[in-house]
Every structure is written in structure tokens, then in C-alpha cells.
Amino acid sequence: MFFMNIKIIEQDHNNVQVRRDLIAYLQPHETQALFLLGNIQSRFGPAFIYVAEQEGNKVGVCGYYPTFKACTLFSESDIVSRLFAKEMLKRHGEVHTILGMANMAKPAYEEFLDHGREPLEDPEQVFLELEMSDFVPVSPVEGIVRPIKEEDVDRVAILTRLLRPVPSIDPVTEEERVKVKASDVIFCLEIDGKVVSVAASNGLAIQAFQILNVATDPAYQRRGYARAVCSHLIRYMQKRGAEKAVIFTGKDNMAAQKCYLSLGFQIVGHYYVGKFQDIRGFCEKRREEQCSQMNTLQL
């Protein structure tokens, strides 16, 4: 397909017919567009959804989620991916994360870099799938797995900091609490009254769902707790019609890969989680450092 005259159009995804059209377009590519499909199905918000159109035909979909300052996309070409990146920068400015299958997200990621964004870490992840027809659940050797409660939110926020460069000693912010509550489904493993492991999902798309934010307290790692929580989440979603689960993790995170492979997942491709510096905060920090150095010199 020769990509010219592509238009990026914002969608009213609260409109029933618009939402049906988006789902119909993405459904044949379900596992490649799970963030989008899951969020559209669950009516996750706040959200901004955009479609790339050429001659009246959809050639890509992109979602921006201001709570997380993140975007995710499904794209039929590198050109469309780059156009989405430019549009997100123009319309929203603050984009700290981009997620998507590597072949689709990499061109957008590179566009962000071309616009001066500073990467935080290697974006490449491994992408795993689980066909659930032969899934064998795993029970915890101790403790109980249950849905999180309101009083667990701060603890869950601290655990999920293990997935990001946030000091665990800092007070939990309201923004972090909102992010925890944004997940459609969250299970935790509790031992002696303490939540030690968590796993979440943004819900069922069509036949598949995505496991997100798996984290275990470092003092309780390598005891099979993450495996037990993920197993419980898989079984829960299976009862609601899920036939396939997907998850992504760092390409060098062998412990996580071993955990997921032991549940029956198979590595089927690569995913991109591109994280960027908060440029404003980065610049403020540099100014503070420079002022501190000047004061030291004056002393």
C-alpha cells in the first residue's frame, strides 16, 4: 500500500457506533492491539482515541491516556506510526511512555527521539502468549490470593514502583493511587496480613487479555508468589470467556521469563515499552544542580 494523504482524526469513542467500528477494525489483530481493545471495551478513561485514515479506510489507531501520560498504537506502516507520534507531541506534549508491538512502536519511538526526547531505558521487551485451553492453575504454597481492597491501594502502589525508577521510601501520591485504581482487575497475594505480590489486567478485549504490573516484594521473591497471582488472574479471566493471555517483560529479565514460561506462556515476538525523561523535571533538576555547584564555588 502506498501511504499518502493520511489523516489523523480524533474519535468520539463514547459513541456506541464509533466504538463498534474501532473494535471491528482492531479485532482481526487482537493480540497486537490488546491495550487499545481492552481499554475501548472497558471504556477506560480519560482517553483520547485517534484513527489514521487514507481514502476513507482505517490504517491505524492510537490511544493517549493522560493519567499515565502514555500512548499505545496499532499501525499498518512505519509512516503511520511516525505520524501518530507527531500528532501526540503536537496535541498532548507530555508523553512519557509509548507501548506497542515492536514493529509498530519502534518507528514512533524513533520519532520521539528525533524530537529531542531522552530515553530512560532500553525499550525492547519479549512478548509472550498463553493458549488457555490446556492451562493448569497453580495454587500458592502459603497465603491467599484475593482482589485488592481500598486499604491495599497504597501498598500496591509501592509494589508497582519496583517496575519504575521511583524510591519506595517516598510517600504515595494521589496520582499513584489513581493509576492503581485504573486497572480493571487486580489480584494480590497476602501473607500474614501483608500484600506481597500483585498482578493486574485492563480487562478482556475479545478473546484475549493482557497481564500487567506484576510485582513482588523483594523480600518475598523466588517463592512462586508472582506465579500464583498470575495463575489466579488467568483462571478468573478464563471463566469470563478469555481464550488467550499475553504478557511482556524485559528481554534480560530471566526470572520473570522463567515464571511465565512455567505457566505455559511461549515467547512469540517483541514488544516496545519506550519510556522518556520528564523533560521539564529533568531541566529543573539540572538547574538545581548548577545552582548548587555555583553556591559551592562561592563558598
In terms of Cα–Cα distance, which of 109, 107, 172, 182 is closest to 148?
182
**What pLDDT, in 10s, does the model give residues 176-214?**
999 999 998 999 999 999 999 999 999 999 999 999 999
Sign, CA torsion 138/249/128/261: negative
Contacts of 212 (CB under 8 A, 6+ apart): 183, 199, 200, 201, 202, 247
CA distance 147 to 225: 15
Provide the pLDDT for residue 285.
41
Q: Is 159 left (phi over 0), alpha (psi -120 to 50) or beta?
A: alpha
CB atoms within 10 A of CB 286: 10
**What pLDDT, in 10s, does the model give residues 96-136?**
999 999 999 999 999 999 999 999 889 999 999 999 998 99
**Domains recognised in the chain with CATH numbers:** 6-117 (3.40.630.30), 130-271 (3.40.630.30)
Is pLDDT at 168 greater than 80 in this prediction?
no
Is pLDDT at 297 greater than 50 in this prediction?
no
